[in-house]
Structure 1
Amino acid sequence: MNLKKFSISIIVILLLGLIVYRIFSNVEEESKNNDKGGKKSPMAVNAIVISEMDYANTISLSGSIEANETVEIRSEVSGVVEKIYFTEGTNVSKGQVLIKVNDIELRAQLSQAQTRQSLAGENERRAKLLLQKEAISQEEYDIASAEFRSLKAQTQLIQAQIAKTTIRAPFSGKIGLRNISPGTYVTPSLLITNLVNTNQLKITFSIPEKYAAKVQVNSIIKFKVAGTSEEFEAKIYAIEPSIDITTRTLQVRAATENKNNSLFPGTYANVELPLDVVKNAILIPTEAIIPIQNGKKVFVAVNNMATERRIKTDTRTENNVLVIEGLKKGDTLITSGIMSLKADAPVKVTLQ
């Protein structure tokens, strides 16, 4: 029994010794690591020296290109298409006949109405003569006169219906693809084709409300469309009088000439809207900015140490951002390795 207790005591002492040994080993290793950390070599980074310049402040927006005029061609009366006078995809002139709807029944109704009108007109003339001779009463004459006027209005109504069987182009433009053929029975609900005026186009876009006061009618904007590197110009001609309370934006519309028909209605436009010229502006590369909660930050090199700076920004271009607070002329802005940097870390700067 005493031997057993002695053995257990030996084992416990050995375990305690092992634990104490591990603790002291870890402390010594951590101390060595700390010594090495204190002598950590500086991180190699690229940087630029901040300078000031005059900057034409612009904002990039998405817009939509629309036709200056566009209309769906439909028939106002129901009937069978007698003839089609246009070719798909061609230009037509204002007033040009596009479609003729069969009007035989309407013309028969017109002939009947004109006969009745002629008879009523003769009756009205005779009644007027008899009234002058006091052979009939005023009431009898009024009845004859009303009958004549009613039949005359009916004749005019049928003539108006006949006129609607000839469908004309309301303005000059390019006609679209047709959805009918000769012999098709058309109704007011059936879309025949589209007519679009593409000689001049409209670009509609919306700007954030904070820039609303900086937009002026007759200002020139530049825009690009997908599929071409060509840059186009347009002139602002209309601005909505109020802010959209849902999106907090202001809608703006500009016009441009569609030279060579290189632009198509319905496509998107990347709009560059000029706002003003900022004197002594500071622009920095987009890749130098780190988004953080409630703002943005950058690293600047001060005495070969990385220092954090919170910044406030305004508009941005394709590659740069306008900084309005947090940096000054002469600061050395770190532009590479920023995601690995920590405040007060040593750096070796290479100026770009």
Structure 2
Amino acid sequence: MKFKFILYLVVTLGLAAMAYFLFFHDSDKPKEEKKNGGGGPAKVEAIIVKPQFAADTLTLTGSIDADEKVEIRSEVSGIVEKIYFSEGTRVGQGQTLLKINDIELQAQLRSAETRRQLTSENERRARLLLEKGAISQEEYDIASADFKTAQAQIQLIKAQISKTSVRAPFSGVIGLRNISPGAYISPDILITSLVKSSQVKITFSIPEKYASTVKLNSKIYFTVANSSEKFPATIYAIQPEIEINTRTLSVRAKADNSKGNLIPGTFANIAFDLNEVDDAIMVPTEAIVPVQDGKKVFIYKNGKAKEVMVQTGSRSQSDVIVLSGLNPSDTVITTGVLSLKDGADVKITLKNKPAKS
């Protein structure tokens, strides 16, 4: 019994000693870490900026439009008698696309022609009687007016008959049709569309501050989705005023599409060359931090991060041209910039090395 008591006492004292050691050992750690500075300076990457040649190119998004496009509708109502086009095929200017039944108009035309013959004869007789003084000038004028009215009525009916033949206003590719033979159509029903795309129009907008660089007949280059080919285009029209809501200038260019590689309605990624700079300062886009008053970067100086306000120009997919705020040989921090504060301690790893003199 005494042996068991001694055993329990030894075990209890041992557990108590272990708990005491663990508690006081762990409670000293924060004090030690606080004394040693809480983990040291932030580790970041940086580059040394160097003047270099750069083409100051503006990257824009635009849309590709057909050179000409029209919705085909009938000017008159009636039953579709015949369709003369196949969907998705090329048609020529003036080609008949469909015919609307004109049987009633043809009957009206025959009636009007009969009336014209009668009024023509009446006008001839009235003229002879007027020459003999048998009727007054007023009576002749009435007969003459009836004849001219009959002539005008024929011209009106013929114009209506011509409208029953729907023709292509220009050469192009016809779209999908929305009607069938025998259908009743009216001017508000879309028959199909006609697109001329041997040339295409590229419509895009340029920020106001670059508006003065846009010139007629200047070249641009653009790409489209799923293709690496660069297509040339020539600026042929410039909007005469800035759009107030967007503060941009609308511009339109034309590009050759004889091979049919460009589809109207798709987006175009446009490279607009502003100028070439021999000593541009460029930094990675991730180094730029947008702020309320503009943009800033952090440079490394004497072991600390220093905040510098910058003005930027055009950008590529990976770099931005810095117009002011940086000097050659500045060390610009490129990682962790969103969590940095002015004057923070940093430890840098250079991604590029300074040139040896």
Shorter-chain-normalised TM-score: which range?
0.7 to 0.9
What is the CA-CA distance between 1:33 and the residue it aligns to?
A: 4.3
2:89 is aligned with what amino acid?
Answer: T
1:157 aligns with 2:127: no
Equivalent residue for 1:350?
350
Matching of residues 1-352 of structure 1 within 5 Å: 32-33=32-33, 35-37=35-37, 44-339=43-338, 341-342=340-341, 343-352=343-352
Equivalent residue for 1:19?
none
Q: Does 336-345 or 264-273 show the bigger shift?
A: 336-345
8 Å Cα contact 2:43/2:348 also seen in 1: yes
What is the CA-CA distance between 1:304 and the residue it aligns to?
A: 4.5
SS state of the match for residue 259, structure 1?
A: coil
What is the CA-CA distance between 1:41 and the residue it aligns to?
A: 5.6
What is the CA-CA distance between 1:30 and the residue it aligns to?
A: 7.9
* Residues 130-181 of structure 1: CA deviation (Å, up to 9, x unaligned): 1111121111111110000000000110011111111110000000111111
What is the CA-CA distance between 1:303 and the residue it aligns to?
A: 4.3
Alpha-carbon distance between aligned partners in 1 of 2:100 and 2:75, rounded to the nearest angstrom: 10
SS state of the match for residue 260, structure 1?
A: coil
* Residues 169-210 of structure 1: CA deviation (Å, up to 9, x unaligned): 000000011111111111111111111111111111112211
Alpha-carbon distance between aligned partners in 1 of 2:169 and 2:40, rounded to the nearest angstrom: 78
8 Å Cα contact 2:44/2:346 also seen in 1: no
2:134 is aligned with what amino acid?
Answer: A
1:233 is aligned with what amino acid?
Answer: P
Change (3 A) 1:339 1:113: closer
Alpha-carbon distance between aligned partners in 2 of 1:341 and 1:157, rounded to the nearest angstrom: 81
Q: Does 76-85 or 146-155 show the bigger shift?
A: 76-85
1:350 is aligned with what amino acid?
Answer: L
8 Å Cα contact 1:237/1:253 also seen in 2: yes
8 Å Cα contact 2:48/2:350 also seen in 1: no
Alpha-carbon distance between aligned partners in 2 of 1:238 and 1:68, rounded to the nearest angstrom: 13
Alpha-carbon distance between aligned partners in 2 of 1:346 and 1:78, rounded to the nearest angstrom: 79
What is the CA-CA distance between 1:338 and the residue it aligns to?
A: 3.4
Alpha-carbon distance between aligned partners in 1 of 2:143 and 2:131, rounded to the nearest angstrom: 14
8 Å Cα contact 1:44/1:350 also seen in 2: no
8 Å Cα contact 1:70/1:195 also seen in 2: yes
1:192 is aligned with what amino acid?
Answer: I
* Residues 182-240 of structure 1: CA deviation (Å, up to 9, x unaligned): 11111111111111111111111112211111111111112222232222221111011
Alpha-carbon distance between aligned partners in 2 of 1:41 and 1:136, rounded to the nearest angstrom: 122
Change (3 A) 1:29 1:174: closer
SS state of the match for residue 37, structure 1?
A: coil
Alpha-carbon distance between aligned partners in 2 of 1:147 and 1:320, rounded to the nearest angstrom: 81
8 Å Cα contact 1:75/1:165 also seen in 2: yes
Q: Gapped runs of 5+ residues in structure 1?
A: 1-27
8 Å Cα contact 1:306/1:347 also seen in 2: no
Alpha-carbon distance between aligned partners in 2 of 1:298 and 1:93, rounded to the nearest angstrom: 60
What is the CA-CA distance between 1:333 and the residue it aligns to?
A: 2.0
Matched residue count: 326
8 Å Cα contact 1:42/1:348 also seen in 2: no
RMSD between aligned residues: 2.3
Q: Does 118-127 or 333-342 show the bigger shift?
A: 333-342
Identical amino acids, percent of aligned pairs: 56
Change (3 A) 1:94 1:37: same
* Residues 71-104 of structure 1: CA deviation (Å, up to 9, x unaligned): 1111111111111100000000001111011111
SS state of the match for residue 216, structure 2?
A: coil
What is the CA-CA distance between 1:251 and the residue it aligns to?
A: 1.0
1:275 is aligned with what amino acid?
Answer: L
Alpha-carbon distance between aligned partners in 1 of 2:200 and 2:320, rounded to the nearest angstrom: 32
1:74 is aligned with what amino acid?
Answer: R
Alpha-carbon distance between aligned partners in 1 of 2:41 and 2:209, rounded to the nearest angstrom: 43
Equivalent residue for 1:3?
none
1:278 is aligned with what amino acid?
Answer: V
Alpha-carbon distance between aligned partners in 2 of 1:335 and 1:241, rounded to the nearest angstrom: 41
Alpha-carbon distance between aligned partners in 2 of 1:334 and 1:229, rounded to the nearest angstrom: 33
8 Å Cα contact 1:180/1:192 also seen in 2: yes
Q: Does 53-62 or 232-241 show the bigger shift?
A: 53-62
What is the CA-CA distance between 1:58 and the residue it aligns to?
A: 1.9
Alpha-carbon distance between aligned partners in 2 of 1:237 and 1:224, rounded to the nearest angstrom: 19
1:251 is aligned with what amino acid?
Answer: S
Alpha-carbon distance between aligned partners in 1 of 2:86 and 2:104, rounded to the nearest angstrom: 28
TM-score of the superposed pair, with normalisation by structure 1: 0.86
TM-score of the superposed pair, with normalisation by structure 2: 0.85
Change (3 A) 1:137 1:339: closer
8 Å Cα contact 2:43/2:346 also seen in 1: no
SS state of the match for residue 146, structure 2?
A: helix
8 Å Cα contact 2:65/2:200 also seen in 1: yes
SS state of the match for residue 228, structure 1?
A: coil
What is the CA-CA distance between 1:295 and the residue it aligns to?
A: 2.8
Alpha-carbon distance between aligned partners in 2 of 1:224 and 1:159, rounded to the nearest angstrom: 50
